[in-house]
């Protein structure tokens, strides 16, 4: 297709319209997204609900396609409306113009993470309805807020409410990630996210003195232990076939603060570590190890969990999971390869799996750079349109299980 053809393509127009809504953190205004999705539901002649599970600023929009056997566990097609901040000075295109270049690249925040799958779901439903298809299982296309901040005001609150329970969800497709080679990543599990603030108190005094029990010495001990553990995990990655997967525990120092003046020993130093714990790690033992390191460093160290997710079980990828079988068979019939991996980041699927909802993270992008949260995030028009075709085959396969 030519640039003009892509620009005149109705699905591409809808996608670019969604991308131009600046639902960007911090303080996202979801009004534009809600109105856009309502318009899309109307164009599909589908009913739509808007729920506010946590507060009025964080809507969950649900486009509903009732199945012929609504008593069966339903299918959720999930994506999030919010996108992470941008640094426009580092972008070659305006992050919210959805520019399309001569090669068909569409540049905008959210192209990969994760507005694309939201409108692709709707494009696939448009095609299926045009074919006269009617799903056996009810299908709910959910658009949630707050995923990028952890989903507390979005999916986490939504799954606790009566509205969600009434959906009787059995399976969910959620966001995945692009892959640089010719195989789709499939997220079947994710690590447990802990973000820990270490608040270290110590001796204060004159910066010229070598006093004992300073905050710096104790923080240095704890940081050294954590960063040594990080090194051990990096060693493990060397032996893995897929280095992107969340097979090992990641440890990253993300915030370091404290001190009042350059010649005063600080009474308090703080460090925040973002830790994503591998699915085969004993969480109780891991926490005890961290607390032991703090005890070894000395007194006056307080541990504050800014995020302490619970363990989320993996989705079964075997014959015991008919949704997985149907999904995999559909990809095989389309001669498409997939690579199941543990999601390196966190997604809203972590709130669904513990409830028995079989969730797969899947974004139909391959032979593409991995650009979530990156400058110049983009996808390609041809890949986007092919993704709609892929969903047009996958959705009936899973909805007829």
> What 3-state class would DSSP assign to 80?
strand
Binders in 284-323 for ligand FME, by CB under 6 A: 307
- Give the x/- contact pattern for ligand FME in 45-64, rule: CB under 6 A: --------------------
Do residues 26 and 111 make contact, with C-beta atoms less than 8 angstroms apart? no
* Surface-to-core class of residue 261, CB atoms within 10 Å of its CB (0-12 exposed, 13-18 middle, 19+ buried): exposed
* From the list Zn ion, ligand FME, none, partner contacted by residue 348 (C-beta under 5 to 8 A by kind): none
* From the list Zn ion, ligand FME, none, partner contacted by residue 346 (C-beta under 5 to 8 A by kind): ligand FME
Q: Please report whether residue 114 would count as binding Zn ion according to CB under 5 A.
A: yes
Q: Which is nearer to ligand FME, 298 or 345 (by Cβ)?
A: 345
Binders in 340-399 for ligand FME, by CB under 6 A: 345-346
Please choose, out of 39-47, 170-178, 217-225, 357-365, the segment that lies near Zn ion by the rule CB under 5 A. 170-178
Q: Please report whether residue 174 would count as binding ligand FME according to CB under 6 A.
A: no
Size of the site for Zn ion (CB under 5 A): 4
Look-up of token digits 């919210």: 96
- Identify whether 304 is a catalytic site residue: no
Binders in 360-399 for Zn ion, by CB under 5 A: 372
Nearest approach in angstroms of CB 2 to Zn ion is 31
Tell me which of 11, 146, 147, 148 is the catalytic residue. 147
Nearest approach in angstroms of CB 153 to ligand FME is 12
- Identify whether 89 is a catalytic site residue: no
The DSSP code sequence of 251-288 is EEEEEEEE-SSTTEE-SEEEEEEEEEE-TTS-HHHHHH
C-alpha distances (whole Å) from 188 to each of 98, 175, 316, 346, 361 are 31, 11, 7, 12, 7
The DSSP code sequence of 193-250 is EEEEEEEEE---EETT---SS-HHHHHHHHHHHHHHHHHHHHHHHHT-S-SSS--S-E
* From the list ligand FME, Zn ion, none, partner contacted by residue 114 (C-beta under 5 to 8 A by kind): Zn ion
- Give the x/- contact pattern for ligand FME in 144-163, rule: CB under 6 A: ----x-x-------------
Which residue sits closest to ligand FME, CB atoms considered? 345
Residue 63 has what DSSP assignment? E
Binders in 67-96 for ligand FME, by CB under 6 A: none
C-alpha distances (whole Å) from 322 to each of 70, 71, 127, 179 are 18, 17, 24, 25
User: How far apart are alpha carbons 202 and 301 in whole angstroms?
Assistant: 9
| b (16+ CB within 10 A) / e for 210-228 | eeeebbeebbebbbebbee
Binding region for Zn ion (CB under 5 A) = 113-114, 175, 372
Binding region for ligand FME (CB under 6 A) = 148, 150, 193, 307, 345-346
Residues known to be catalytic: 82, 147
């Amino acid at each position: 297709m030519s640039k003009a053809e892509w620009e005149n393509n109705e699905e591409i127009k809808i996608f670019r319209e969604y991308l131009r809504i600046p639902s960007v953190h911090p303080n996202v205004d979801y009004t534009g997204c809600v109105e856009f999705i309502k318009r899309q539901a109307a164009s599909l002649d589908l009913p739509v609900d808007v729920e506010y599970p946590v507060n009025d600023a964080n809507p969950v929009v649900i486009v509903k396609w009732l199945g012929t056997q609504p008593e069966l566990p339903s299918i959720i097609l999930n994506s999030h409306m919010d996108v992470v901040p941008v640094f426009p000075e580092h972008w070659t295109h305006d992050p919210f113009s959805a520019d399309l270049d001569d090669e068909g690249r569409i540049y905008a925040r959210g192209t990969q993470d994760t507005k694309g799958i939201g409108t692709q779901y709707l494009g696939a439903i448009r095609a299926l309805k045009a074919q006269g298809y009617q799903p056996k299982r009810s299908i709910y296309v959910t658009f949630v807020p707050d995923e990028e901040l952890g989903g507390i005001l979005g999916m986490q609150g939504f799954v606790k409410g009566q509205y969600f329970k009434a959906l009787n969800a059995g399976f969910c497709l959620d966001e995945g990630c692009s892959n640089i080679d010719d195989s789709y990543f499939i997220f079947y599990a994710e690590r447990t996210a802990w973000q820990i603030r270490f608040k270290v108190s110590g001796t204060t005094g004159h910066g010229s003195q070598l006093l004992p029990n300073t905050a710096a010495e104790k923080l240095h001990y704890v940081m050294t232990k954590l960063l040594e553990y990080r090194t051990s995990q990096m060693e493990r990655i060397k032996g893995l076939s897929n280095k992107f997967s969340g097979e090992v525990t990641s440890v990253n120092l993300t915030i370091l603060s404290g001190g009042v003046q350059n010649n005063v020993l600080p009474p308090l130093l703080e460090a925040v570590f973002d830790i994503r714990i591998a699915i085969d790690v004993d969480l109780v033992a891991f926490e005890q190890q961290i607390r032991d390191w703090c005890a070894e460093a000395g007194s006056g160290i307080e541990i504050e969990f800014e995020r302490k997710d619970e363990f989320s079980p993996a989705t079964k990828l075997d014959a015991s999971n008919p949704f997985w079988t149907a999904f995999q068979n559909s990809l095989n019939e389309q001669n498409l390869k997939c690579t199941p991996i543990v999601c390196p980041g966190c997604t809203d699927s972590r709130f669904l799996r513990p409830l028995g909802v079989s969730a797969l993270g899947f974004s139909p992008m391959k032979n593409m750079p991995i650009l979530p949260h990156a400058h110049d995030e983009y996808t390609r028009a041809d890949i986007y349109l092919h993704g709609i075709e892929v969903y047009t085959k996958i959705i009936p396969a899973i909805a007829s299980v």
